[in-house]
């Protein structure tokens, strides 16, 4: 049943359509739209609700037939025939699985990430899904937190670029589509709004305390970037932010999202995050929770039932105005309208799109670009020229079709994964001097048994090189999978140490959902590749890099030496007492040393403050030489300093980079800035731009970035008695710029 046949070509048509529909809805029908259900939970109870128009969205239903069956109940049997919208946790691919988002961030290639999102939308929409619960854009500085896998790392600027890329990929699909007139294929849902990732001690769902200016400088910009890219929805976070859970947070949901950003995106709760206000200790019961949530404009309730159970009563009691409900329903209808669901509610029941050649090729490319070379004593790329070359493939992750897909892969199918073992076997068919030996040594990442060590060591002695595939099973990262110890689990490090004693060259390949503290393992390997959980085509991607394709990934997070350094991130403040160079370490302190004798600097006695690998780090099969950073084409007059005046902005910052080796390769020059003085202390480095450029061997390229006054601004706060005011401004100050291969190499001191 069509609801309205008016033409819908512009905004006012949209408003007219929505106003007309809203005017014909009963209060129960409006509240029904605010209800999002997983029909697999209590199907019998929920299907009648759909027929009565009391469900706005379903999720976790996959398959055109099943989505259409439920859609017919809504469109043909409910009074007003308002279509449902089918949602799903589509996080890093649908059937074809791309690397986990943290791995995608390691590509530093938003274009590829956008393409992966577009192909993901093709697959997901072909089975009826029009709303993806991603991207997760929570800036994360703590690798203990399992959800670092789902985001784009520790940096606000890099995360913002990736956030916008995913939104464009899902939503701005100009290609021919089978889902009707709307040019928007699948709505993005940017999550988790906001401050979720700063959870105390990296424990999921835990409290976060974030000062307003830090919230605005670090955590909110990726959400803003996604909103500016047109994101159609956002999801509330589970955590209490400064004591107030997001589903009840008027400041986030109304002051910032609506009044400052002027966003008309739909705001959905996380799973039961509204009813969670009771265990949070904010509300005495669920009815009060419903009141707090509607007052904070949480618009749709995911699987919590609090709106369904209590909103009508709250309206009757005069505690909630019907106009508040209308505002929420407007957002919901708007999203459905813009997706073309009123015109085209059904999905064609054709063969679903999955594993196209294009998607598999892209999955291989993006996984290849996500691999970060952390160490290379010359063993990589493998020298495959000798007449026989024996390769031992070992480690628990070498042949794990499911584990390499990573977290959140409800629809990924391990039988389509190409593992490293399989890919290397395929490669072997093209090069008959290679002999592969396979001894996993450990059955799975947490395996502590040493029973197969002897066999594996014997095989190692027969080999010319050892490829050790280490890491974490998929279940060890993602939601609620936090770790207090982030070393390689099980007996992996012990096996690696034994193999190291054979004296054979070892390539360590780590397939994991987070940065791991692998200092000791790196020392036991001749080369190290960090491959994250690379998805369906992880095996071919790793093989491409092992056999000669120059790696181009760069770390999206700082790698700590020890868990005790966490949170360790590059854009920290300097403190008034920065670490001594060289630092004072525990074994340097004489026995009986007097209190003042070793000084006072900000540092850990076991490991100082340096990371194992800095943010932005990554090697390749060539070397790059960076020229001096120039400002407006000139070398800075003194010591890289730039006295900033208004008439110098915007300015250009440039640098020449020469490929000084013999191999063509991509480089990722990164622009960092440091403000040397000003109204507030500022970070020692902040990323303000990056490019991924191809530089043939022996050639030089110049990269140029433009910096505006706004790029140098940050949030200020002034306290006046009980009042406090925040504002965004750029200080008149001295800034230093450095175009560098990683944050650790930035010359900003």
- CB nearer to ligand NOJ: pick between 202 and 505: 202
- Is 377 one of the catalytic residues? no
- CB nearer to ligand NOJ: pick between 474 and 550: 474
Distances (CA, A) of 65 to 61, 73, 85, 127: 10, 13, 14, 8
- For ligand NOJ, the nearest residue by Cβ is 133
Token pair listed for 747: 């010359």
Judged by CB under 6 A, the residue of 114, 155, 270, 299 near ligand NOJ is 270
Give the contacts of 446 (CB within 8 A, at least 6 positions apart). Answer: 473, 476, 489, 490
- CB nearer to ligand NOJ: pick between 304 and 395: 304
- CB nearer to ligand NOJ: pick between 272 and 616: 272
Cβ pair 573, 684 in contact under 8 A: yes
Token pair listed for 40: 């697999």
- Nearest approach in angstroms of CB 271 to ligand NOJ is 4
- Nearest approach in angstroms of CB 265 to ligand NOJ is 16
Parallel, antiparallel or unpaired: strands 723-729 and 714-720 = antiparallel
Token pair listed for 149: 């896998």
Q: Give, as ranges, the residues between 338 and 367 that touch ligand NOJ (CB under 6 A).
A: none
- Nearest approach in angstroms of CB 205 to ligand NOJ is 9
**Region of residue 600 (left: phi > 0; alpha: psi -120 to 50; beta: else):** beta
Q: Distance (Å, rounded) from C-alpha 103 to C-alpha 108?
A: 9
- Nearest approach in angstroms of CB 97 to ligand NOJ is 17
- Nearest approach in angstroms of CB 209 to ligand NOJ is 20
- Nearest approach in angstroms of CB 150 to ligand NOJ is 7
For residue 223, state whether it binds ligand NOJ (rule: CB under 6 A).
no
Site string for ligand NOJ, 142-181 (x = CB under 6 A): ----------------------------------------
Pick from 711, 713, 703, 714: which is nearest to 653 by CA?
A: 703
From the list 270, 447, 526, 711, the catalytic residue is: 270
Judged by CB under 6 A, the residue of 30, 141, 168, 191 near ligand NOJ is 191
Reduce the DSSP state of residue 245 to 3 states and report it.
Answer: strand
Q: Rounded to the nearest 5 degrees, what angle is found at the Cα of 29, between the Cα atoms of 26 and 30?
A: 90
- CB nearer to ligand NOJ: pick between 154 and 270: 270
Pick from 196, 233, 228: which is nearest to 87 by CA?
A: 233
- Give the E-state strand segments of 343-429 in sequence order: 372-376, 389-394
Q: Give, as ranges, the residues between 463 and 482 that touch ligand NOJ (CB under 6 A).
A: 479
- CB nearer to ligand NOJ: pick between 265 and 392: 265
Pick from 384, 366, 394, 492: which is nearest to 433 by CA?
A: 384
Q: Give, as ranges, the residues between 479 and 518 that touch ligand NOJ (CB under 6 A).
A: 479
- CB nearer to ligand NOJ: pick between 326 and 479: 479
For residue 271, state whether it binds ligand NOJ (rule: CB under 6 A).
yes
Site string for ligand NOJ, 444-463 (x = CB under 6 A): --------------------
Q: Distance (Å, rounded) from C-alpha 738 to C-alpha 675?
A: 12
Q: Give, as ranges, the residues between 57 and 96 that touch ligand NOJ (CB under 6 A).
A: 89
Q: Give, as ranges, the residues between 94 and 133 that touch ligand NOJ (CB under 6 A).
A: 133
- Nearest approach in angstroms of CB 730 to ligand NOJ is 35
- Nearest approach in angstroms of CB 59 to ligand NOJ is 7
Q: Distance (Å, rounded) from C-alpha 34 to C-alpha 52?
A: 14
Pick from 67, 65, 48: which is nearest to 57 by CA?
A: 67
For residue 686, state whether it binds ligand NOJ (rule: CB under 6 A).
no
Distances (CA, A) of 214 to 243, 271, 656, 704, 726: 16, 27, 34, 29, 11
Q: Distance (Å, rounded) from C-alpha 191 to C-alpha 135?
A: 6
Q: Distance (Å, rounded) from C-alpha 364 to C-alpha 347?
A: 29
User: Which positions lie near ligand NOJ, rule CB under 6 A?
Assistant: 89, 133, 191, 270-271, 479
Query: Active-site residue numbers?
Result: 270
């Amino acid at each position: 049943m069509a609801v309205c046949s008016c033409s819908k070509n512009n905004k006012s048509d949209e408003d007219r359509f929505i106003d007309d529909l809203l005017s014909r809805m009963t209060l129960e029908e409006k509240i029904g739209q605010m209800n999002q259900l997983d029909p697999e939970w209590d199907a019998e109870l929920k299907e009648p609700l759909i027929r009565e128009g009391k469900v706005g969205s379903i999720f976790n239903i996959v398959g055109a037939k099943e989505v259409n069956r439920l859609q017919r109940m809504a469109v043909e049997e409910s009074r007003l025939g308002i279509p449902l919208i089918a949602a799903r946790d589509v996080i890093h691919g649908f059937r074809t699985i791309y690397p986990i988002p943290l791995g995608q961030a390691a590509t530093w290639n938003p274009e590829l990430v956008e393409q992966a999102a577009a192909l993901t939308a093709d697959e997901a929409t072909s089975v009826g899904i029009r709303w993806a619960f991603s991207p997760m854009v929570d800036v994360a500085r703590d690798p203990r937190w399992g959800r670092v896998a789902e985001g784009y790392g520790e940096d606000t600027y890099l995360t913002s670029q990736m956030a916008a890329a995913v939104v464009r990929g899902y939503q701005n699909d100009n290609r021919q589509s089978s889902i009707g007139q709307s040019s928007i294929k699948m709505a993005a849902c940017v999550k988790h709004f906001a401050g979720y990732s700063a959870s105390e001690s990296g424990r999921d769902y835990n409290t976060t305390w974030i000062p307003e200016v830090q919230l605005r400088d670090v955590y909110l910009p990726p959400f803003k970037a996604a909103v500016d890219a047109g994101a159609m929805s956002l999801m509330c976070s589970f955590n209490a932010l400064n004591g107030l859970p997001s589903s009840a947070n008027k400041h986030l949901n109304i002051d910032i999202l609506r009044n400052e950003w002027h966003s008309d995106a739909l705001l959905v709760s996380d799973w039961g995050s509204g009813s969670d206000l009771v265990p949070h200790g904010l509300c005495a019961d669920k009815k009060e929770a419903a009141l707090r949530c509607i007052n904070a404009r949480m618009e749709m309730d995911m699987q919590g039932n609090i709106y369904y159970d209590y909103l009508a009563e709250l309206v009757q009691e005069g505690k909630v105005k019907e106009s508040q409900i209308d505002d929420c329903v407007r957002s919901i209808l708007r999203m459905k309208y813009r997706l073309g669901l009123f015109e085209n509610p059904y999905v064609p029941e054709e063969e679903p799109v999955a594993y196209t050649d294009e998607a598999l090729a892209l999955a291989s490319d993006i996984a290849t670009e996500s691999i970060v070379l952390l160490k290379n004593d010359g063993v990589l790329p493998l020298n495959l020229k000798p007449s026989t070359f024996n390769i031992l493939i070992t480690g628990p992750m070498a042949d794990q079709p499911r584990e390499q897909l990573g977290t959140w892969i409800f629809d990924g199918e391990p039988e389509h994964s190409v593992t490293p073992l399989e890919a290397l076997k395929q490669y072997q068919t093209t090069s008959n001097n290679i002999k592969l030996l396979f001894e996993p040594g450990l059955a799975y990442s947490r395996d502590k048994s040493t029973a197969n060590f002897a066999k594996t060591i014997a095989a190692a002695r027969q080999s010319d090189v050892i490829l050790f595939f280490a890491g974490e099973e998929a279940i060890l990262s993602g939601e609620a999978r936090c770790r207090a110890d982030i070393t390689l689990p099980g007996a992996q490090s012990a096996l690696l140490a034994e193999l190291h004693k054979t004296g054979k060259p070892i390539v360590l390949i780590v397939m994991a959902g987070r940065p791991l503290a692998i200092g000791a393992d790196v020392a036991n390997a001749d080369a190290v590749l960090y491959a994250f959980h690379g998805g369906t085509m992880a095996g071919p991607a790793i093989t491409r890099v092992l056999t000669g394709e120059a790696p181009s990934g760069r770390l999206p997070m700082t790698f700590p030496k020890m868990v005790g350094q966490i949170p360790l991130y590059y854009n920290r403040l300097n403190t008034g007492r920065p670490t001594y160079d060289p630092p004072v370490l525990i074994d340097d302190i004489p026995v009986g040393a007097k209190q003042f004798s070793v000084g006072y600097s900000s540092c850990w006695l076991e490991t100082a403050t340096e990371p194992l690998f800095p943010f932005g780090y990554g090697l390749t099969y060539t070397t790059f030489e960076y020229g001096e950073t120039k400002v407006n084409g000139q070398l800075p007059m003194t010591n890289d300093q730039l006295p900033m005046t208004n008439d110098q902005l915007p300015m250009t910052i440039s640098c020449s980079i020469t490929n000084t080796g013999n191999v063509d390769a991509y480089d990722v020059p990164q622009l960092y800035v440091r403000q040397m003085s000003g109204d507030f202390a500022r970070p020692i480095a902040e990323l303000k731009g990056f490019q991924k450029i191809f530089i043939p061997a022996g050639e030089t390229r110049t990269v140029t970035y433009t910096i505006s006054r706004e790029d140098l601004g940050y949030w200020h706060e002034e306290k006046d008695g009980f009042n406090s005011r925040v504002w965004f401004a750029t200080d008149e100050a001295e800034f230093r710029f450095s175009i560098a291969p990683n944050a650790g190499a930035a010359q900003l001191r």
